[in-house]
Structure 1
């Protein structure tokens, strides 16, 4: 459940402060009051987890002066100003300086609650976006989320680093559930725009008229957001399900791209997630738009092509879910490892996440098998059938690597404990760890 938004109430009149505070507290907000602008400034700053409601006329520093200082520190902080009856010039000045909105005395409490709700939603969006940008600003951190040692994943990471620096528009395509949005985040994080805006719009989630307004405007007066094209200016705009754009919106998008200079003022990353068999993004996008977007292109590898990455991912995911549910991670047998490697994975990583969570839940209950989970997802699949045959040696090595990796993690890098559990001499364990690229320092 989301934490209640804070509301700072600044007013020199005690009765007014208390009445506003009580009313908003009943609406579920966490309020704090200040008798002067000077007191409020000791608390309010760029990371304030809420909004501000302030009277304009106060002794000492008035509301307009407070507003200017707050806007100077954080222009996105929503500040609602309270003005006297008929004090239109004050209200106009407050809006010019950057106030979110204003209330005229005597005001309707319901009107205040509605403004507080809108302002709080806008603030939450701003803070969430900042937290996301901080998380993604270090390219290393997000690149570490692209787990896997398979050749296709090594190549994907190299492509991200190359294209991230190239700074042109990008088309990301591939099967559903392969992590296309994560790669869009990574491209932004490793490039020169890492500290700039990252705006994501799902084209398939909105009706055409709403999508047009969200992308290009004009926005309605009650909307706290800018059109996405403006909001992402200087940064990155990600268009999920770009194939859902109508011909009209494709033409508008192309026009915007043509109006930008080189390098583009706003980088566009288009994500194609076609579900129709036999069709590609080239089939549904107008050619001039397709070639503008696909000048730089990443096609995501399906999970079934990633070999033992499947076991590595399953291990990491099951550990995460076991921590979340407060239980032991399920132990994977050699037969189950083979079944995980052989599964066709039409849902790719997203499906693997689902299987890992369900495996942890059924392990907590002490019943069920991984095979049963795979069979429930694909009734037609036999437990040992595979879409791509592999030599027995590959299955054995993949299981051996997973077993050593799991045991090292469980014993937090204690070589003696791992040797004892797996009945391996020190030299043999060292050789196998070197063979599979496992380093003790990763488990400490």
Structure 2
């Protein structure tokens, strides 16, 4: 579940601190109180997981000085200022400096709760975005997101590490929902441009005029954003749905690439989502542009080719959703495991994410099956029909591996607990873990 937001209450009057703290605690917030701004600043760093409510008139460092200090350390930390009756000019000045909002004494406690809810929501979004940005700049974290031990995923990770160190432009293709944008982030994060700009433009989301300005300019005079070609200089420019570029924009892009020379100052990663049966990205782009963009190429494998990775992914996703929704993850039966392995997965990982979330919600209600979810996505799919025939032994082994993996995870690597739950002797469990590449250290 999401981390509970804290509320730091700063006021030199003890009664006021306590009354605000008690009211907000009843509303479910984790509060901490400070008698002075100086004391509060000792804990209010850029990563403070919450918001601040502060009186504006205090001895020593007053609320305005306090606010300016906070804004200097973290301008995205919401601060709600408490002002005296009639101090409207002071409240206006606080908002100008960066306060989230203000409360005028005597204030309505419900109004304070409403402001606290809005401010903590904004703070949680800021913190989530910071975590995401850190992950998207960390090659190791990104590679961990490319889960799976299937040969096609091993090859994909090797390709990313190899091509990440190269300077050539890259074309990423593959079916929808396979994670092509994640691969683009990983390519940038594991290469020499990791600390440089990463600019992503969706070519299909903008009409030609807007897209032309976004890529090449000129931007509006009052727009602080640079054209993408300039913004990404020295770093990576990612073009999603590159096949949507018009002929005139393809020509301008080719000119921009040619002007860079070799090695390219800005690396371009083109992502193609073409799904037409008789037409490819090569057909949609002019040949000279296609061959420049496809100097290096990665094809992201569809989920149906990833074998038991499907069960591993489903387990991880259902654990994440069960934590988010505050309930137990659904237990997958042998038949359901086979159905997950047999499904055609036209929506790939994106579809699997949706199925996992819906399975957790079903489990919380105590109704429904994974088979029903798969059938609702594919009305034509028979419960035990497979798109690619496999020996029974492979299904059994995939389910067995998932069962041991889940049990080890649930018991945090306790061999004794796993032996007891699965009724396996130590030697048999060791042999099966070695067979499936499972290591106890990964669960501790």
Shared topology, TM-score over 0.5?
A: yes
CA contact (8 A) 1:136 1:194 kept: no
Query: How many equivalent pairs are there?
Result: 444
CA contact (8 A) 1:122 1:224 kept: no
Q: 1:421 to 1:39 in 2, by over 3 A?
A: closer
* Structure 2 Cα separation of the partners of residues 86 and 213 of structure 1: 48
Indicate conservation of the 8 Å contact 1:133/1:198, yes or no.
Answer: no
Alignment check: 8 A CA contact 1:328 1:364 kept: yes
Deviation at 1:306, TM superposition (A): 0.4
In the TM superposition, what is the alpha-carbon distance from 1:278 to its structure 2 partner? Answer: 2.1
1:291–1:77 distance in 2 versus 1, CA, 3 Å? farther
Higher mean C-alpha displacement, 21-30 vs 189-198 = 21-30
1:139 is displaced (CA, Å) by 1.4
Question: In the TM superposition, what is the alpha-carbon distance from 1:135 to its structure 2 partner?
Answer: 2.0
Tell me the distance in 2 between the aligned counterparts of 1:251 and 1:20. Answer: 63
The answer as to whether partners of 2:362 and 2:368 remain within 8 angstroms in 1 is yes
CA gap 1:169/1:406 in 2 versus in 1, 3 angstroms: same
Decide which moves more: 112-121 or 413-422.
Answer: 112-121
Unaligned residue ranges in structure 2 (runs of 5+): none
- After TM superposition, the structure 1 stretch with the greater mean CA deviation from structure 2, 106-115 or 339-348, is 106-115
Structure 1 counterpart SS, 2:9: strand
Alignment deviations for residues 10-35 of structure 1 (CA, whole Å, 9 cap, x no partner) = 99999999999999999999999999
Secondary structure at the residue paired with 2:152?
helix
Q: What is the alpha-carbon distance in structure 2 between the residues aligned to residue 264 and residue 90 of structure 1?
A: 53
Measured in 2, the distance between the counterparts of 1:23 and 1:403 equals 47
Contact 2:2 2:324 (C-alpha < 8 Å) held by counterparts: no
- Larger deviation: 72-81 or 358-367? 72-81
Contact 2:197 2:232 in 1 (8 A): yes
Quick check: 128-137 or 115-124, which moved more?
A: 115-124
- Structure 1 residues 39 and 225: CA distance shift in structure 2, 3 A: farther
Contact 1:197 1:236 in 2 (8 A): yes
CA distance in structure 2 between the partners assigned to 1:315 and 1:183 by the alignment:
22
Deviation at 1:439, TM superposition (A): 0.6
- Is the contact made by 1:133 and 1:195 (CA closer than 8 Å) also made in structure 2? no
Distance 2:98 2:232 in 1: 20
Cα distance change of structure 1 residues 108 and 169 upon mapping to structure 2, 3 Å threshold: farther
SS of equivalent residue, structure 2 residue 145: coil
Contact 2:56 2:82 in 1 (8 A): yes
For each residue in 1:92-133, what CA deviation from the matched residue of structure 2 results, as whole angstroms up to 9, or x when unmatched? 999999999999999999999999999999999999987654
The alpha-carbon distance between structure 1 residues 21 and 267, as it changes in their structure 2 partners (threshold 3 A), is farther
Aligned partners of 2:20, 2:221: CA distance in 1, in Å?
A: 25
CA–CA separation in structure 1 for the residues paired with 2:81 and 2:278: 57
Contact 1:413–1:441 (8 Å) recurs in 2: yes
Structure 1's unaligned 5+ residue stretches are: none
